[in-house]
Amino acid sequence: MALTQIPGTSTGRRPDGAAPPVTSTNAVVTVAPRIEARLSTLLAEERRRWALIDPDLDPPLEALERAVLGGGKRLRPTFCYWGFVAAGGDPDTAAGDQMERVGAAFELLHAFALVHDDVMDGAPLRRGRPTTHIDFTARHAEGGWRGESRRFGEAVAILVGDLAHSYAESLVRGLPGDALAIWNEVQIELMMGQYLDVLRTAAGRATTEQADRIARLKSGRYTVERPLQLGAAIAGATPEVMAALSAYGLPLGIAFQMRDDVLGAFGDPAVTGKPVGDDLREGKPTPMLGIALERADAAQRRILDRAGDPDLDDIEVGRIQDVLIDTGALAETQTRIVELTEAAVAAVYHGPFSRAVAHALVELAEFIAGREV
């Protein structure tokens, strides 16, 4: 399986690539419009309800609506849907409606994580627009209000994230016990992974083993495996189906995060909506950076030690990119993405899945391996 070419950047070298990126997938198109319609209705109703109480309550809800509906791949509800169908679920039943509610809840949980993550990272942009805390910092400054603009912006962003989490919780009420247990576990895994990410970023070092653990907890399970399992649990999946979905979902989730790491270091800002090399300025403890640190000579290590400096200019970012290439860290990461994706696809072919489900899961694996955003 060939990976897409790394997008060009304004700095560093452009590694050779292969096939053009996968830009869409029928497996996502089947699910996304229904989830977006449900989210749009929920948030529009909430904006109307709270604006009647006080017009000043609309801006945080507007920010949440923008965070949820302003873009995104809808992967988590998509995997929830195909897990449900893989277990024999019928989307046009009460259980199907419950699965859809959980899919929408995943998008709100994701918005909660992203808004808070942007505050923790001090990220200025998300999908090419100012992040929530930056937006409200600017509103405070423009209004000439009392207190510190930055603290106000961050406080509002935390509340917007909390709103997203509260709405997510409201959507999962009434889940069967085994499905609810998965929902609760995925939230804990996400937060534990985020803590490790914050810790290793602050420490400035992470072994490849530590970085892999962060990738599994923060994104791998939360993006693919747990949504699959949750959808399947709603449909009353057998242990055989659950095991097959995990054999597919865990390696693919790690591949997703590793692809994210590549895009965070080399992605084209015009496509990703983030500054070039953003993860390098943050010093994100990725497996790719861990590989480079293990292989770097003294001169290369001095360059890598600059990762984590928010004031890195484009030339310095380019030098770090060059070390990631020259040490083979980028190439090994690309190889691992391919291997993990192939392992996921093999699990599909050995699993108890219908032709339609198998086709969708393979299509999703290829989408994840080839995405540019």
Instruction: Please write the tens of the pLDDT for every residue from 316-366.
Output: 999 999 999 999 999 999 999 999 999 999 999 999 999 999 999 999 999
* Beta bridge mates, 130: 125
**CA gap 178, 368 in Å, rounded:** 28
pLDDT at 61: 98
Q: Which residue has the higher pLDDT, 5 or 126?
A: 126
pLDDT at 369: 86
pLDDT at 211: 87
CATH 1.10.600.10 fits 26-370, yes or no: yes
Q: Which of 5-9, 118-122, 128-132, 347-351 has the lowest mean pLDDT?
A: 5-9
SS (H, E, C) 313-356: CHHHHHHHHHHHHHCCHHHHHHHHHHHHHHHHHHHHHCCCCCHH
What tokens were used for 94? 């009460």
Instruction: Please write the tens of the pLDDT for every residue from 143-172.
Output: 999 999 999 999 999 999 999 999 999 999
Radius of gyration of the chain (CA): 21
Which of 21, 83, 14 lies closest to 259 in space, CA to CA? 21
pLDDT at 174: 92
24 has a pLDDT exceeding 60: no
220 has a pLDDT exceeding 90: no
Q: CB–CB of 27/363 below 8 Å?
A: yes
pTM, full prediction: 0.89
Q: Which of 197-211, 251-265, 280-294, 325-339 has the lowest mean pLDDT?
A: 197-211
Instruction: Please write the tens of the pLDDT for every residue from 84-104.
Output: 999 999 999 999 999 999 999
To the nearest whole number, what is the mean pLDDT of the chain? 90
Q: How confident is the model at residue 278 (pLDDT cuts 50, 70, 90)?
A: confident
Percentage of the chain surpassing pLDDT 70? 94
Burial-class residue 366 by CB neighbours within 10 Å (0-12, 13-18, 19+). middle
pLDDT at 7: 34
Instruction: Please write the tens of the pLDDT for every residue from 31-68.
Output: 999 999 999 999 999 999 999 999 999 999 999 999 99
| Three-class SS state of 173 | coil
19 has a pLDDT exceeding 50: no
Segment 299-324 shows an average pLDDT of: 94
